A = this chain, B = another copy of it.
């Protein structure tokens, strides 16, 4: 009852396979009656077209690839969900290509998986690609788009990271903070991208433009993780001499780590220390973290829609779009006591 092919259906309905194909795919040139009859029979037989066969015939897989540096981090998993939302609505499949677990064979991934015509389009989640990889991708000539960060030669959906970081920094400055430290995320394993640099640059320039002193010793790496935020906070708190009254963190996960470490030491947030992040991570509201919010679900959704439009034949459907962001004030920031 399950393993039926289009021929079985055609035979059962006394029509040709071509008619079955047309009827099922909703193409014209089939009388309403025959269509109804075929559909009924197909349903009853549990017939579903083989994707391999139709893929071979059409050259389309109805599958979109999502290339991610990690899947278990907030931004990426949410962006994946956003892409998925659109794909499901359009009966497309989602092939997850995770670079995080890749042990050395990363290049093979591009030369094989990517090229096997297994996907009709690709979403690249903020990821720095090697020149050879970019070349491979462009050779496939499938629609491409980047989400969450710029990729050279790609259209992109992402916030203006410079402006976002500037907004966060300015919030601290406007509250009256003068001694502001930064926890940033550095590019460890080459999976990373330009976003950290932009946020870093914005922080420094905003500080200086406001007449404040930029202190290199108050710039520590948090690796974009909670654990990294904790250890970054330790380094700051353990340093001798003057302490910052506020910390700008390049991501909420790091900011949450900073808050946890502060709490452990009895440093009160926001009385003794203001903390601000970027992202609006799921945990941030609960933790009362002030942040510059962005919405990866929406970004993923938008990107997927553009790709599908492009696949549907709309010219230049894939464009670069600036995603919105906004300051969300919560309890972790306040004017400095002194």
Contacts and interface: CB of A to CB of B under 8 A. Distances in A.
Contact of A93 (B84, B118, B263): B118
A172 to B, nearest CB: 22
Interface-central residue, A84, A256, A264, by most chain B CB under 10 Å: A84
A324 interface: no
Interface residues of A, number: 67
Contact of A74 (B51, B72, B88, B109): B72
Interface-central residue, A66, A71, A94, A227, by most chain B CB under 10 Å: A71
Interface string A258-283: 00110110000000000000000011
Interface string A202-225: 000000000000000000000001
Contacts of A1: 139
B288 A260 contact: yes
A101 B297 CA distance: 11
Interface-central residue, A72, A81, A117, by most chain B CB under 10 Å: A72
A30 interface: no
Contacts of A102: 88
Contacts of A93: 95, 113, 118
A143 interface: no
As for how many copies of this chain the complex holds, the number is 2
A98 interface: yes
Contact of A286 (B52, B111, B118, B230): B230
A81 B100 contact: yes
Given A71-B71, A113-B93, A260-B287, A81 B52 contact: no
A227 B285 contact: yes
Interface string A94-128: 11111011110100010111011110000000000
A270 B80 CA distance: 37
Given A51-B52, A84-B98, 19 more contacts: A2-B115, A46-B111, A46-B139, A48-B111, A49-B116, A51-B116, A51-B118, A52-B53, A52-B56, A66-B96, A77-B77, A80-B98, A81-B101, A88-B105, A94-B95, A226-B283, A227-B286, A264-B331, A283-B283
